[in-house]
Amino acid sequence: MTLRAVAEEAGVRLGHLQYYFPARAALLSALLERVLSSSLERVTALTVAPTHGSGYEALLDSLLSDHDDPRLVRLFTEVWALAAHDDEAASAVRAFYDQYVTHVAAFLRDRAPGLTVAEAHHRAEVFVMLMEGSALFRSGITGRRTAGTDARLRETVLALLEGDVRP
């Protein structure tokens, strides 16, 4: 990706783009910040909003619905690929997932006050791993989505969140 290609795709002059983003790294950083902060805002809203019952199903349903948006899943796969080769991108991705896990862990502890901080953190990490990995399979990028695997995923994730399964 070059600044020239981005300017062309966006339909703006290269000089205008360079005024706001003098280097490719600045553009990537701004893009990652916007995408990741938008996703994190959704996670935050889901984990702090009052819900009926435990709220586990509402959280799971909302995050699984993200897998129905192939553009969003492709964007995240590109971000992951970029993070593998770009330290600045990797740092932004790590910060995003650290915050994601922190919000989910707090969500779990709010619903199960007896849960230790460490156990909530472990469950939250496994939950995030399952959500992110399943995105690849459920979106069709690496696998085919089936009703059977969707049902098993829901069952497994809900058991993890409710404490019926230890990570």
Residue 52 lies in a domain: yes
Residue 51 lies in a domain: yes
Q: Considering the entire predicted model, what is its pTM?
A: 0.81
| 117 or 113, higher pLDDT | 117
Residue 111's domain comprises 29-162
Q: What was the pLDDT predicted at 52?
A: 64
CB 100 within 8 A of CB 40: yes
How many C-alpha atoms does 130 have within 13 Å on its Cβ side? 23
Between CA 92 and CA 98 the distance in angstroms is: 10
Between CA 10 and CA 140 the distance in angstroms is: 28
Task: Output the six-digit token pair for 156.
Answer: 């497994």
pLDDT, one tens digit per residue, over 127-161 is 999 999 999 999 888 878 899 999 999 999 999 99
- Number of independent structural domains in the chain: 1
Residue 23 lies in a domain: no
